[in-house]
Structure 1
Amino acid sequence: MTRSFAWALLATSGLIDVAWALSMKYAQGYTKPLWTTVSLALLAAFVYLLGKALQVLDVGTAYAVWTGIGAVGTVLAGAVLFGEALTPLRLFAIALVLVGIVLLKMSSG
């Protein structure tokens, strides 16, 4: 597998992580059978893709990037779907995470 493909798998895994977090919200403490099933399937998918990406990528950088994608994506999705606040401080924090992700990616080669 090429590094480019591994990064694509990692990004996809990060986006699936966002969908997983949202599905957990919709599962309402795993009391909704359909959303619980969706949540578990998404969990399996993102763990599998993350594992494949880690075969090629440095674990520290890849995990940090993956976590950043999940964190930023989930904050933004929470704002859009659930009306969660996007205050100036939260937007600044998102910007810091994004800068960190870019710098980690650039430093990994």
Structure 2
Amino acid sequence: MASGFDWVLLLLAATCFASGGIFMKLAGGVSRPLPTLAFLALFGLGAVLQSLAMRREDMGVVYLAVLGLEAALALGFSVLLFREELSVARVTAVVLILVGVALLRRT
């Protein structure tokens, strides 16, 4: 069972990856230097935080937990920042991912 600190690391890692996705979109296919550097730095920091969370937990559980949280954050960021569509299908997909992560944690 992950400690509170491990869950903070998971959430921070997912936030770094999702925030990196914002800058990846702004980088225009790595044609803009500052957004490119920002997304690379955020992805690197996210990987370090995820690695720290993996010290005491199963890799599969941590990896999927970060991916699930990242998916939820990325959907929220895409809607808020880029005015992308928030459909029932997208919300349902993210909810299913998060339910799957929760079930994985319990097994």
The normalised TM-score by structure 1 is 0.87
Tell me the equivalent position of 2:31: 31
Deviations 1:16-60 (A, max 9, x none): 110011110011111111111111111110011111111111111
In the alignment, which residue of structure 1 is the partner of 2:16? 16
Which amino acid in structure 2 is aligned with residue 19 of structure 1? Answer: S
Residue segments in structure 1 that go unaligned for 5+ positions in a row = none
| Amino acid corresponding to residue 75 of structure 2 in structure 1 | V
Partners of 1:95 and 1:21 lie apart in 2 by: 20
Ranges in structure 2 where 5+ consecutive residues have no aligned partner: none
What code does the residue aligned with 1:23 have? Answer: F
Deviation of 1:70 after TM superposition, in Å, equals: 1.0
Q: Distance in 1 between matches of 2:13 and 2:24?
A: 16
Q: Which moved more, 1:81-90 or 1:17-26?
A: 81-90
Range with bigger deviation, 9-18 or 75-84 = 75-84
TM-score with structure 2 setting the length: 0.89
Alignment map for 1:70-81 (pairs within 5 Å): 70-81=70-81
CA RMSD of aligned residues (A): 1.5
How many residues get paired? 106
Percent sequence identity is: 31
C-alpha separation in 2, matches of 1:27 and 1:79: 18
1:3–1:57 Cα contact (<8 Å) kept: no
